[in-house]
Chains A and B, each alone.
Chain A
Amino acid sequence: MNIIKYKWAYLIFSLLVLVPGIISLITYGLNLSIDFTGGSVFLYQFTSLVNKDDLKKVFEENSVSVENISVDISNKTIVRTKSVDADTSEKVKNAISQQLPDAKLLSFETVGPVVGRETTKNAFVALTWASIGILLYIAYAFRNVPKPYSSFRFGASAVIAMLHDALVVLGIFSILGHFHKIEVDSLFITAVLTVIGFSVHDTIVVFDRIRENLRKLPGNWGFEEIVNYSLVETLNRSLATSLTVIFTLSALFVLGGESIKTFVLALLIGIVSGTYSSIFNATPILVIWEERVMRKRK
């Protein structure tokens, strides 16, 4: 099986996914939930159990988009919405007292974001340092790859694949946010971080086998052949590992609670992308890079 033969095709496929995502990120950005933007909170007291869907309908009839509704034991109901101005909030309040007469408004407030700018900024700083840390570690751990191959290029390829996965998730959610109104909440940051963790983990296993085979296989094998051989050898493991994670996530997506669906979807997209990028991005980039360097030397 010759996987590496089509290396350019894999990279082009990645670009086909990445470019629309990046364009969407630049033009539309991400559809941020009130976790990031702040919004309005209506606190209602009901005398009997209220149907969440009925309540939601009233808000939406007045074109207020509802973030979530939670009811506690004493029928106190918190409705979180996008920021609502004074006029609209009056309209909503009137509509509710007409349609749901046992509702008593306890408070109406405008809240600040749960995830401050600081948190998002810190996450980006952490991501930058993590990239550098991983690059340095791989450069160190692979320091004994036989010459003329460079451990630095192994590290850099892994980090590029990792950033690719983060961008794929961000891009796809930007598109989903614009066309399907799927919002990005505070858990999204965690999802992206999980994805990069998985991505590097997956890539390193493939690279490890390449390193082993560089020493083991006969000297007349070319770099591309060795890499291809290693990929085929580790393919079983890559698929098995990804499948186990995808099983768990699919179960969570189908059966899990409503409030974590977006989170699980982000993870699913990221894990699929992470598996793809270890085999079809990190390795082709490494091959193209190493061969280009070798050609220059000649």
Chain B
Amino acid sequence: MLKNIYFRLGMISVIFTLCTLCALPRIPISFENAFFDVNSSLGGYYVSLLGGKYKLDLSELKEGLDIKGGVRVVLSADMSKVEGADRDKALESAKEVISRRVNLLGVTEPSITTLKTKDDYRIVVEIPGLENVSEAVNLIGQTAQLRFKVLKADREWKEEKFFEYFSDPTAWEDSGVSGADLRGVEVVLGEGDLKSRGKPQIQLRFTSEGRKKFSDVAKANINKPVALFLDQESSPLSAPIINPDLAEGVINDPVITGNFDFNTAKNLSIQLRAGALPVPVKVLQQETIGATLGKESVNKSFVAGAIGLLIVFLFLVYKYGKLGLLAGSSLLVYTAVVLAIFKIIPVVLTLPGIAGFILSVGMATDANILVFERIKEEIYWGKPKNIAMRLGFERAWNSIKDSNISSLITSLILFQFGDGPVRGFALTLAIGILVSLFSSIFVVRTFVQVLYEGIHEHN
């Protein structure tokens, strides 16, 4: 089927149209006259697939802190309970925990730095383009120290007294089991009775040692509650009654049930998974910040980049004539596909990311140049023009394949081992290389066949 040139041309048009629709920012269209009254918009769609199971937010291209700015949260660490010598270390590990939380939240390319002024220990978290700021602040700022507590020996357990104990933190004492005994935490939807069915719950998974500790506690408290306290909060998250099965360890690890919605459950699970903060922190300030590279500088650079691409286009046309024109138009397809992929994944665009993109445009152009030079050579060696066209693509393929695979290997390794900006660069480079193979071989070749070799030869 791929041999059929109509099919290929159709496929390219469909891909180009779809990707352009994905890549377009929201453009409002509204006009009113005697015949039409239109109030609509093009692009920037929000797509819901398979009955809302998959959601695709194409409303905007996500840009990183350096380009767009974002939110800055300054946290102050309370070091009053930490020895002077250990404070630097505590600050470092608090930073690590916070990075883990931010990463689990799915934020890409955050910037997290520590900051010291005399006796003040701070952590600055900068998150690019964030929607729900206060939720993020809550997520980052909590110590998330989970403790399992049991009723004090002098409190007699009666079911009627449950609510009295529940709201009285002094009724409980530490059981020795804590968040540190967990190996995993995830959000599940409740099963079983009507009350809990379909409600988000937090499934705890103990380490083998933690499970033993918990099971000892459970055995000593059969038919009594064990309460889960988070941080210094006065009422427990939940206080399940231990039934005999759980104490014997025959049923699964415990779940925390409670009246939380899915987001609360998710954030709580992130906090528990990322580990507790070694020191309590409090939020000093949260503010929106401008692009670190400077808006003006970013705008200027975008214009400069566009001018650069235009020069490349003119150069290709100057050097290869009509072929160059075709290569130039394939760059349009290339840009639409890449932007669409950036939006769908989504990729947070930072300056290193744009560098990866520019490099991949260079590689896409290089593939075209390789083919065109080869065509020139084949003609020089005496091949008829239409055969030279075909041979040019076939024989340049080896070089194109090898050079692009090696670049792909480089980008995969950089993505695997690098962090932060390096990953952003590697990701856009890898996407760019894959798409450039499609555009410079498949698209340009189809165009060339249509224009030079005649459609009939191929049907």
Interfacial residues, chain A to chain B (CB-CB below 8 A): 68, 70, 72-73, 108-115, 118-119, 122-123, 125-126, 129-130, 133-134, 137-138, 141, 186-187, 189-191, 193-194, 196-198, 200-202, 204-205, 208-209, 212, 233-234, 236-237, 240-241, 243-245, 247-252, 254-260, 263, 267
Contacts and interface: CB of A to CB of B under 8 A. Distances in A.
Contact of A187 (B113, B294, B421): B421
A112 B115 contact: yes
A250 B308 contact: yes
Given A208-B403, A255-B300, A122 B418 contact: yes
B444 interface: no
Interface in B94-129: 111, 113-117, 122, 124
A123 B307 contact: no
Contacts of B316: 244
Contacts of B403: 200-202, 204-205, 208
B406 A260 contact: no
B307 A126 contact: no
A284 B42 CA distance: 56
Contacts of A137: 405-406, 409
B410 A196 contact: yes
B301 A252 contact: yes
Contacts of A68: 294
A123 B309 CA distance: 29
B403 to A, nearest CB: 4
Contacts of A248: 305, 308-309, 311-312, 358, 361-362
Contact of A194 (B359, B361, B419): B359
Contacts of A209: 399
Secondary structure at chain A's binding surface: helix, strand, loop or mixed?
helix
A2 B448 CA distance: 35
B315 A243 contact: yes
B171 interface: no
Nearest to B291: A70
B425 A190 contact: yes
A144 B289 CA distance: 56
B407 A201 contact: yes
A201 B363 contact: yes
Contact of B308 (A70, A126, A129, A247): A247
Contacts of B293: 257, 259-260
B269 interface: no
Interface size class of B (residues with CB under 8 A): 35 or more
B204 to A, nearest CB: 30
A201 B366 contact: yes
Contact of B414 (A113, A126, A208, A212): A126
Given A110-B117, A129-B417, A257 B399 contact: no
Which of B362, B365, B404 counts the most A-chain CB atoms under 10 A from its CB?
B362
Given A129-B413, A137-B406, A241-B362, A255 B116 contact: no
A204 B406 contact: yes
Nearest to B287: A76
Interface in B305-327: 305, 307-309, 311-312, 315-316, 319
Contacts of A244: 312, 315-316, 362, 365-366, 369
Given A111-B124, A138-B406, A260-B297, 4 more contacts: A141-B406, A193-B425, A204-B403, A256-B300
Contacts of A73: 290
B297 A259 contact: yes
Contact of A247 (B311, B417, B421): B311
B294 A133 contact: no
B429 interface: yes
B363 to A, nearest CB: 6
B170 interface: no
A116 B254 CA distance: 39
Nearest to A260: B301
B240 interface: no
Contacts of A70: 290, 292, 294
Nearest to A249: B308
